[in-house]
Structure 1
Amino acid sequence: MCSYSSSPPPLTPSTSSNGGFHFTEYDSTTSHRSSPSSTGGGLQQTLTFEQVQRLSQIVSDPIAINAKEGNFPTLAISPAQLIKAVKKRLDSKDIDVTDVRLNGSAASYCIAEDRERSPALHYNDLDIIFMIQIKTKMDLHIIKEEVLNSLFDFFPEGTQTGRISSFMLEECYVKKMVKVSTVTDKWSLISLGDINGKNIELKFVDSMKRQYEFSIDSFQILLDPLLSFDDARSGEMSPVKLDANFYPRIQVTSLYGDFGEAIDHLNNRLISTKNPEGIRGGGLLKYCHLQVAGYTVADSAEIERQEPYMCSRFFIDFPSSNAQYGKIYKYVFSRYLQSQQPRKALEFLDVLLQVVGQHARCLMESERYKTISILCQIQSVISWQASFCQGPYFPSVLQQQHHPSSPTSTTIIHHHQPQWHTGHMHHHQYNRRGSDSGSSNSTSSSLPMIHFPHSTNNSLPVGPTPTPVR
Structure 2
Amino acid sequence: ERFQVLCFDQVDRLNRVMDATVPIHGRGNFPTLNVRLIDFVKVVRNKLVENDVHVKDVRLNGGVASYVLGNENNQAFNDYDVIFSVQLKDQTDLNKIKESVLGSLLDFFPKGVSKERMSLCSLNEGYVHKMVKIFNDTDKWSLISLSNVRAKNIELKFADSMRRQFEFSVDSFQILLDSLLTFSDVSKDSMKEHFFPTVTAESVYGHYELALYHLNNKLKDIDIRLLKKYMCSMFFIDFSNISDQKIKLENYLADHFTDEEYLKFDYLMTLYAVVDESTICLMGHERRQTLDLISQMAYHIRIEQEQ
Q: In the alignment, which residue of structure 1 is the partner of 2:126?
A: 172
Q: In the alignment, which residue of structure 2 is the partner of 1:231?
A: 185
Cα distance change, pair 215–328 in 1 and its aligned pair in 2 (3 A): farther
- 8 Å CA contact 1:337–1:345 kept in 2: the answer is no
> Aligned AA for 2:85?
M
* Post-superposition offset of 1:74: 2.1
Tell whether 2:6 aligns with 1:47. yes
> Aligned AA for 1:90?
L
Q: In the alignment, which residue of structure 1 is the partner of 2:82?
A: 128
Cα distance change, pair 343–180 in 1 and its aligned pair in 2 (3 A): farther
> Aligned AA for 1:67?
G
What CA distance in whole angstroms lies between the structure 1 residues aligned with 2:263 and 2:158? 34
Cα distance change, pair 261–356 in 1 and its aligned pair in 2 (3 A): farther
Q: In the alignment, which residue of structure 2 is the partner of 1:379?
A: 294
Q: 1:128-182 deviations in whole A, cap 9, x for unaligned?
A: 1111111121111121111111111112334321111112212222222222233
- 8 Å CA contact 2:269–2:298 kept in 1: the answer is no
Q: Identify unmatched segments of 5+ residues in structure 1.
A: 1-41, 234-238, 274-302, 393-470
- 8 Å CA contact 2:268–2:295 kept in 1: the answer is no
What CA distance in whole angstroms lies between the structure 1 residues aligned with 2:117 and 2:285? 50
- 8 Å CA contact 2:264–2:301 kept in 1: the answer is no
Higher Cα radius of gyration: 1
1:244 to 184, 193, 206: 193
What CA distance in whole angstroms lies between the structure 1 residues aligned with 2:241 and 2:209? 36
Question: Which shifted more, 344-353 or 249-258?
Answer: 344-353
Give the TM-score normalised by structure 2.
0.83
- 8 Å CA contact 2:272–2:294 kept in 1: the answer is no
Percentage of matched positions with identical amino acids: 37
* Post-superposition offset of 1:194: 3.2
What CA distance in whole angstroms lies between the structure 1 residues aligned with 2:135 and 2:116? 33
Alignment partner of 2:114: what SS?
A: coil
Q: In the alignment, which residue of structure 1 is the partner of 2:46?
A: 88
Q: In the alignment, which residue of structure 2 is the partner of 1:191?
A: 145
Tell whether 2:211 aligns with 1:262. yes
Give the TM-score normalised by structure 1.
0.56
Q: In the alignment, which residue of structure 1 is the partner of 2:57?
A: 99
> Aligned AA for 1:307?
I
Tell whether 2:107 aligns with 1:153. yes
Tell whether 2:289 aligns with 1:335. no
* Post-superposition offset of 1:124: 2.7
Q: In the alignment, which residue of structure 2 is the partner of 1:79?
A: 37
Cα distance change, pair 318–191 in 1 and its aligned pair in 2 (3 A): closer
Cα distance change, pair 144–389 in 1 and its aligned pair in 2 (3 A): farther
Tell whether 2:259 aligns with 1:310. no
- Structure with the greater relative contact order (CA < 8 A, sep ≥ 6): 1 or 2? 1
What CA distance in whole angstroms lies between the structure 1 residues aligned with 2:121 and 2:197? 39
Q: Identify unmatched segments of 5+ residues in structure 2.
A: none
Cα distance change, pair 349–44 in 1 and its aligned pair in 2 (3 A): farther
- 8 Å CA contact 2:150–2:251 kept in 1: the answer is no
What CA distance in whole angstroms lies between the structure 2 residues aligned with 1:109 and 1:350? 28
Alignment partner of 1:176: what SS?
A: strand
1:60 to 19, 31, 41: 19
Higher helix share: 2
Q: In the alignment, which residue of structure 2 is the partner of 1:404?
A: none
Alignment partner of 1:139: what SS?
A: helix
- 8 Å CA contact 2:257–2:264 kept in 1: the answer is no
What CA distance in whole angstroms lies between the structure 2 residues aligned with 1:176 and 1:127? 13
Cα distance change, pair 65–105 in 1 and its aligned pair in 2 (3 A): same
> Aligned AA for 1:104?
G
What CA distance in whole angstroms lies between the structure 2 residues aligned with 1:176 and 1:54? 28
* Post-superposition offset of 1:93: 1.2
- 8 Å CA contact 2:22–2:34 kept in 1: the answer is yes
Cα distance change, pair 178–329 in 1 and its aligned pair in 2 (3 A): farther
Q: 1:295-330 deviations in whole A, cap 9, x for unaligned?
A: xxxxxxxx4xx234435656887999x969899767
What CA distance in whole angstroms lies between the structure 2 residues aligned with 1:212 and 1:330? 27
Cα distance change, pair 326–212 in 1 and its aligned pair in 2 (3 A): farther
> Aligned AA for 1:45?
Q
2:266 to 347, 360, 363: 347
Alignment partner of 1:183: what SS?
A: coil
Where do 1:406-421 residues align within 5 Å? Answer: none
> Aligned AA for 1:231?
D
Tell whether 2:70 aligns with 1:112. yes
Question: Which shifted more, 221-230 or 193-202?
Answer: 193-202
What CA distance in whole angstroms lies between the structure 2 residues aligned with 1:375 and 1:73? 32
- 8 Å CA contact 1:175–1:193 kept in 2: the answer is yes
Question: Which shifted more, 243-252 or 85-94?
Answer: 243-252
- 8 Å CA contact 2:173–2:202 kept in 1: the answer is yes
What CA distance in whole angstroms lies between the structure 1 residues aligned with 2:35 and 2:15? 15
Give the CA RMSD over aligned residues: 3.5
* Post-superposition offset of 1:258: 2.1
Cα distance change, pair 319–269 in 1 and its aligned pair in 2 (3 A): closer
